[in-house]
A and B are shown apart, each in its own frame.
Chain A
Amino acid sequence: MIRVLQVAAQFVVIAALFAGVAWLSDHPTYRQIPDGSGIMMLTFVHGADRKGECRRFTPEEVAKQPPNMRRVQDCPRARRPIYVELDVDGRNIYRASLRPTGIAGDGPSRVYQRFVLPAGKYDVAVRMRDTARAEGFDHERRGTVEFAPSQMFVIDYRPESGEFIFR
């Protein structure tokens, strides 16, 4: 009888431990953004212009190159940084100069920024400069968005069409 009681007690202890583990497997819940808010995400991958212009090799320079590796022009690999700004309701919430990726600086620039905002209507403006110009912007989009609770609102850029998209 004592043995049975002992085994029963052992079972109770093990089951209680397992029950605690099971409870902790999804409790307590975690809220990553405040109630009634959503996330505005600015994210894109885009390569700016190269830093320098390509230069055509002279026929003599081409002739000096190995026959199987001849190139007609010399292009610098490194790209310019991309400058980007994001305004919400006329207030600037993000501005950055995005350096190109890659060891040689020849990869695309990339941005992945999230902003937690309360639900509501917002005037959004996003601008980007990806050329050698010192002032102004090459791409810009403005719009009014309805921002719902828990919404993921994404501002992306499509290099193939050269425009920002809101989704």
Chain B
Amino acid sequence: MHERSVPNETESDVIGAIRSVLRAGFSVIERPFDRLFTTTLNPLAQLGALGFFFFWIVAVSGIYLFVFFDTGIERAYQSVEHLTLDYRFHAGVMRSFHRYASDLMVVMMVVHLLREFSLDRYRGVRWFSWFTGLPIIWLLYASGITGYWLVWDKLAQYVAIVSSELLDWLPIFGEPIARNFVSTGTLTSRFFSLMVFMHVAVPLFLLFVMWIHILRISRPKMNPPRTLAILSLIALVAVSIWKPALSQGQANLATVPAEVGLDWFYLPLYPLTGIWGNGAVWAFLGAFFLMIGLMPWLPPLRRAKPAEVDLAHCNGCARCAEDCPYEAIRMVPRSDGMPFPTQAAVNPSLCVSCGICVGACPSSTPFRRSEDLKTGIDLPDYSLKTLRERVIDAASTLAKPGRVLVLACEHGAAAGRLDATVVLPCVAMAPPSLIDFVLSRDLADGVVVAGCAENACYNRLGVQWTEQRLARQRDPYLRARVPRERIATVWATPLESGKVRSTIADFAAHIADLPPMRLRSPLPVSAASRPGKNREPAELKGDS
């Protein structure tokens, strides 16, 4: 088996190496989860949706807790103890919900960030979602940390002192805030009113930024599948009863909270302030966020030319706009006088050049007789005409029996294959008519569509759209005359090349055993199907 290196996986830089290790890690974890949960329910494919889900749990439980909460140096702690111990089975459980769902938000956010990084889904025009994710980190931590202050137990005292010492390091405040927390008598109840305001205002702003975060993607997952949501809720109830969230003794400013049970999701850096010093912690945070903030623009920059609309072949059907995963295509009023109400318009700043729109366009049919194959929307760097030529070239290397042509996503496991493989930016760039073309022209006996893993599609919806088109559930449909048994799909990460090899080998053996194909095509078989002849695109004229 001949294979070529895949650009994504052979980056020699440090970031590329980290990404490869992370991708391997996720690949190892995700497959067992796929088997247990199914690809639809796999929590690792629902991280953003689960983040929203836990936000709403935190919001509802927070409103409930606010009914019981009383501001004041003494009353804050007492009211939290009251709701925790005296109303254990509703307010107490709500308190546990509030804390654990907040922690789970951090887990979802961190894993989501690592996974998107591992899948290389943050560069080019995707910078927006990556970049707007950074303030979410700060706002989520600010929300959680202000929440811990409100309880006014020993942990709150520790958090108040370390947080204010951190803030005091910045040359912003005239008088050290931390002086308010070093002795009794310096703190007033107004402080708790301020913290309540902060603990409400910051999460509201967080929700606003979360909305901005998903603005530029179509069909964002904001709600997890119902089964997953129900299981998560029941599990939260069980854990809240098993280990209720409790306070750690009332704060006392005359003493040092020498030993505290830290929330390691929200406060992992706090011990470092004592080891490194506040300046070093700020330097670490600054360097870290500067680095991940700049990552979308670090080399290697890959920026293919955005898709272009050819109005002469666009009838304004809107399928491209419907299928675009990035909201890069809008339907606008017709501008060329043709008798259609709308036409497609590409926003170049949102287009990632995945080609999914090409696969969705009903004009994208390789059967077209025109000399210069045109379609309604096309990629300048990888046109439908080029795709057809590459398919013909790749197919010319095949020998009977069991000739299998592979249409491979450049981000999937089959991208490294050399034998009879055509690599695409996304498998959904290939219209179903291309498979019809391959089989009806007798270019191959079977076609394997090899894309990213189901839940790790580089272009978000490519796997889903391809499955639905081949299942004849989504326009453009695979034509009824195309035998489905001659098409195989394999969804695999770049680390699962073994799975792809075995799937293709099994499929080739299966194809070899099938009787000769007889497609009910009204058109003559072209010269392209005759072995031993040069096949020029111009010769491949058939049904359109």
Please give, as numbers and ranges, the residues of chain A lying within 8 Å of B299 by CB-CB distance. none
Which A residues lie within 8 Å of B174 (CB)?
A: 101-102, 107-108
Binds A, one of B125-133, B256-264, B389-397: B256-264
Contact mask for chain B residues 24-66; partner A; CB cutoff 8 A; 1 contact, 0 none: 0000000000001100010100000000000000000000000
- Choose one: A6, A29, A41, A45; the contact of B175 (CB below 8 Å): A45
> A25, A26, A31, A151: which has the most chain B beta carbons within 10 Å?
A25
Q: Is the interface of A mostly helix, strand, loop or mixed?
A: mixed
Are the C-beta atoms of B231 and A11 separated by less than 8 Å?
Answer: yes
> Given A14-B231, A25-B245: A32 and B274 within 8 A (CB)?
yes
A72 at the interface (CB under 8 A from B): no
* Cβ–Cβ contact B36 & A150, under 8 A: no
In the complex formed, the residue of B with least CB distance to A156 is B183
CB neighbours of A150 from chain B (8 A)? 255-256, 258
Contacts of A41 on B, CB cut-off 8 Å? 182
**Can you name the residue of chain A whose Cβ is closest to the Cβ of B252?**
A152
Q: Contact between B36 and A25 (Cβ–Cβ < 8 Å)?
A: no
Instruction: Provide the residues of chain B in CB contact with A75, threshold 8 Å.
Output: none
Encoded as 1 (CB less than 8 Å from any B CB) or 0, chain A from 1 to 30 comes to: 000001101110111011101111111011
Specify which of A27, A30, A33, A110 is in contact with B176 (CB 8 Å cutoff).
A110
Bound Cα distance from A160 to B256, whole angstroms: 28
Counting contact residues on chain B (CB < 8 A from A), the size range is 35 or more
The answer to whether A29 and B245 touch across the interface, beta carbons within 8 angstroms, is no
- Name the distance in Å between A40's Cβ and chain B's nearest Cβ: 10
Interface residues of B in 220-269 (CB under 8 A from A): 227, 231-232, 234-236, 238-240, 242-243, 245, 248, 253-265
A120 nearest CB across to chain B (Å): 15
Q: In the assembled complex, how far is the CB of residue B378 from the closest CB belonging to chain A, in whole angstroms? A: 44
Interface centre among A19, A22, A110 (most CB of B within 10 A): A22
Q: Which B residue's beta carbon lies closest to that of A31?
A: B259
Bound-state CA distance A121–B231 (Å) is 58
Chain A min CB distance to B226 (Å): 13
Query: Would you list which residues of chain B between 82 and 109 have a CB under 8 Å from chain A?
Result: 96, 99-100, 103-104, 107
* B207 contacts partner chain A, Cβ-Cβ < 8 Å: no
Whether B259 lies near A29 (C-beta < 8 A) is: yes
The answer to whether B104 touches A112 (Cβ under 8 A) is no
Known: A15-B239, A25-B245. 12 other contacts (CB 8 A): A14-B231, A18-B104, A22-B103, A22-B240, A26-B263, A30-B259, A32-B258, A43-B178, A43-B179, A108-B174, A152-B183, A154-B183
